[in-house]
Amino acid sequence: MLARAGLDLAADRTLGHCTAEKSSAGAVAPLATLKEIEQEGLCARAQRLGTLLRTRLETLRSRHLLFAAVRDLGLMLRVELRRADGAPAARRPIGPSRPP
C-alpha cells in the first residue's frame, strides 16, 4: 500500500509477487507479525539467547582445537570447524560413529 495515490505510478499493473501489493487485506498479516515480534520483544530475546549460545560455544572452542571460529548475529551462528592441520573439517568423520 502506498501512502499517497500520486506515488502509485503503476496502478494498472502488478509489480513483482508481493502478497501485500495493492491489497489492504494482504497487508494485515505481515503487519500483525511485525507487531507481535515487537510486543513480545523477540529481537531482544534472540540477541540474549545468541549471546548465551556464543558464550557456550566459545567455551567449547577454548577446550577443543576443532572449533576454529564462532561468529554470530543474534541467534544466527556460524561455527567454523578445522582439523589440527588447519584444513576444513568438512565431510569427514571426527570420531567414532555411533551404532544405529
pLDDT tens figures, 30-80: 888 999 999 999 999 999 999 999 999 999 999 888 889 999 888 899 999
Q: How confident is the model at residue 16 (pLDDT cuts 50, 70, 90)?
A: low
The domains found in the chain, sorted by start residue, are: 23-90 (3.90.1150.10)
Say what the pLDDT of residue 55 is: 94
How far from each other are the two terminal CA atoms of the chain, in whole angstroms? Answer: 54
Instruction: Judge whether residue 90 has pLDDT over 80.
Output: no
Instruction: Judge whether residue 2 has pLDDT over 50.
Output: no
Say what the pLDDT of residue 83 is: 86
Q: Grid coordinates representing 85?
A: 592441520
**CA angle at residue 84 from 78 to 90, to 5 degrees?**
45
**89 vs 57 pLDDT, higher one:** 57
